[in-house]
Chain A
Amino acid sequence: MALARFTKPVDGTIPVPALLYDDEDLVTSQDGVGIYDGSAKSPRHQIGILALTSLRLFFISVPAPADSFYLDLSHVVRTDYYAGLLRSSAKITLHLESSSEGGKDTGSGDLIDELDWSTWECEVCGNRNGPGWSPAKAAVCSLCGVPRSVSSAAATPSKPSPRLAPTQGRTTLNSASLPLLSEGASQVPVSDPESVGQVIACPACTYHNPPSLRTCEICGTSLPVAPSLKQVTRSLTASPAPSSAVGSEGASFIKLSFRKGGDKPFYTALKRTLQGKAWQTTRSIARVAVGTTSPAATGASGINQILNTFQNNAEQRSTSLSSALSDLEALASQAKQMVTLASELTEQIRLAEARSKAEGRASLSAGSEEAEAANFIQTSLAQLGLTMANAPVTQDMVKDERKWMEELARELGGLLQQGQEQNTEHWEDATSMASSPGKDNTKATGIMRGRGIVGLDEVWGGWNRARGVALIPPSTFLQVLPHLPSYTSPPLLTRTFTSGLSVLHTPRYTHVAFTSRLSSMITLSGPSTTLEVARDENVTVSLAGEMIAEVEKDGEICRDEVQVDGPFGGGRDIRWWINIFEDYVWDGQQDT
């Protein structure tokens, strides 16, 4: 039963390559094959040639070419292979199912079916599309690629003919060829070449046109409707099909029995072809093409089509771009939230601190633990530079330029000396304690972190990290610096070394203070290297080097430079001395 449902008859006398669509390829063929319809042998299809193409499976019956048929590979859902045993020959089972394509969009399927085997003229380029293409391809003009529009199909004079022709052909030919059929199957192929040979003479120019054409190939005059070869074969097999429809109704598979071997290569070829799904690609192309035309059935073709495509692309691009930008905005707003969250957190910590202070030292053990945790949070926030109590000052908050600078200076000052406020009263003592720098500020968490001197780059980076949003450009940063001393306690001053390095520093690190401290240090502990000075001053070596260089420029100190020979080329070792030359009086040999 599957045989009748899924296969379509073909004229077996025509060689297989001639039966193919233009976009169809012959994959392989095998002779000596019998067909099982379901599990039973199909008596009329026992000796034949099986030809596999990229789209279809042909069976050409050898004794009775009229019983030949083809099967669309799109119906095949599953294949089984049976290797054969003793006298039982190898078999391939094809499980069939009417293609889901047809069920889903019957419209396009119908259209394709209707389009089958009829010529049509493309309304854009005027190309006459022949019937040689597969159903999928036939829906698209082979020259310009514009899909065949339904309206144009309806408008063409060729359209009504396929509708009318089958009925006409069937009625006329059934009566004529049925007797032939009854006479014998061998007679049928004879009748077919005759019908193939039927040409249609143009009523205007008398040119003998092939039967498949609807209009004259030379002068374009519409040809009188004549029964074509296709209609003949269709009508011929229309009658034997019902007769074979006696088989099991439910069986939806057929078996291919390879009597003369060749089963294995054929099966692999079949598998590959099924996986390739050539029918699907061509059909989907056709469907897409048909689908795009539907919104603008009349205008969407040719240049219009191309323009439409460009427009669609541009729209898509702009949508993706805008969505990406909205992502960025979301990110920015989240950064703001982050800062807000951080400030809230600090606020809570402060409250907790205040509470614990209010509770006094009574619950010292529990309180200290809490304070420790709070301290940890605070320090980790400080590491991130997020310990700001308020949201950062931005220019739109403050209108006046000078006010803006002052606000920025206040913010920066707070940031630099965070956690240092409580120590300000000890500051004066600290400055006098020359040998213990930074000791008093161990609790400080600001950018200064208890140091007396810090590079401008670090300050700028830390500040902007703390702000998070509305970052400060270096130019503004430099403008803020002169305002800084009035908002900091102790005042933070700016100093630029000869090398170009700029730093912020406390009064402790002014030139004068450092010079006197360095002099006394050398006097007390003898000549020192830069490294020793850096360690003593609690600053980096390079910073110490810069400061010492300034002192040397004043002539307060002098250097003792020694070439040190080391294993790796050595280097120069510089020790700093008090300027011993300054007021040196000759005490050597007196000239006589």
Chain B
Amino acid sequence: MALSTHTTRSGFLLPSIHSAPPFFTQQPNPNTQKIVTETWSRLILSYARHRNLFFIRVEDAETQGSEWDEILRNDRIKRRLLPSHLSYILSEMVAKNQAVYEPPKQTRSVLLYWRLPEEWAEVLHQWVTSTGQLTTILTFYEITDPPVPSPLTGIPVVLLRKAIAVLAKTGRAQIIAVADGEGARFFAGTGR
């Protein structure tokens, strides 16, 4: 059976294996399942990057109509990823630091690290530098929802705080309490 790639409505190129029914089944063979999990992890992360999604929940596999439908379901072969299988994949991703349970101490919802906090830190610093806002105090809202769309648009505060923390370690940022919440001031890469 010839499997082929498929482009979704959102313009995402699905891998050919997405149209193979066994891909949606949790395999009892550990070696086989390892490949399945890896492929799924990559698919989830790249789709998250494509759609700028940060969270995925087990519920997304249970109910139809979520923003993940395009990869969790394949109506052409009448297959869908079962919640139990997704839960297993997510736990594997957390174990490999590709995601983190957010909020912590539960396993139903994860924050996806399609960029690691360190990578986000670099992206953030680059954006601040490129927009000439060094040494300026920026509130979190100004970062996550800037008037001109940026790579950081829509980034969850949790992830943003982690990225700033990474920068703070190297002396390139400082968290400052401001009147309407929290803010941060960024410095040039002096710490390096």
Q: A: which residues have CB within 8 A of B?
A: 526-527, 552-553, 555, 558-562, 575, 577, 579-582, 584, 586-591
Contacts and interface: CB of A to CB of B under 8 A. Distances in A.
A77 to B, nearest CB: 93
A581 B43 CA distance: 14
Interface of A is mostly: loop
Interface stretch (B45-53, B87-95, B155-163, B176-184): B45-53
Contacts of A591: 46, 49
Interface residues of B, number: 33
Interface of B is mostly: helix
Nearest to A577: B22
Contact of B42 (A579, A580, A581, A586): A586
Contact of A579 (B18, B32, B46): B32
B94 to A, nearest CB: 20
Contact of A559 (B14, B18, B28): B28
A587 B29 CA distance: 23
Interface of B: 1, 3, 5, 12-18, 20-29, 31-32, 35-36, 39, 42-43, 46-47, 49-50, 78-79
Contacts of A555: 29, 31-32
Contacts of B26: 561
Contacts of B3: 580
B21 A575 contact: yes
Contacts of A577: 20-22
B25 A559 contact: yes
Contact of A560 (B17, B25, B47, B49): B25
Contact of A589 (B17, B35, B47, B78): B47
Given A577-B20, A581-B39, 15 more contacts: A526-B1, A552-B28, A555-B29, A558-B25, A559-B27, A560-B22, A580-B3, A580-B17, A586-B39, A588-B46, A589-B14, A589-B15, A590-B13, A591-B46, A591-B49
Contacts of B47: 589
B22 to A, nearest CB: 4
A575 B5 CA distance: 22
A581 B49 CA distance: 24
Closest 7 CB pairs of A and B: A588-B15, A560-B21, A581-B35, A589-B13, A560-B22, A561-B25, A558-B22
A526 B2 CA distance: 11
A589 B32 contact: no
A588 B32 contact: no
A326 to B, nearest CB: 61
A559 B26 CA distance: 8
A589 B22 CA distance: 20
12 contacts: A526-B1, A559-B25, A561-B25, A577-B20, A579-B32, A580-B17, A582-B32, A584-B39, A586-B42, A587-B17, A588-B13, A589-B14
B46 A589 contact: yes
Nearest to A551: B29
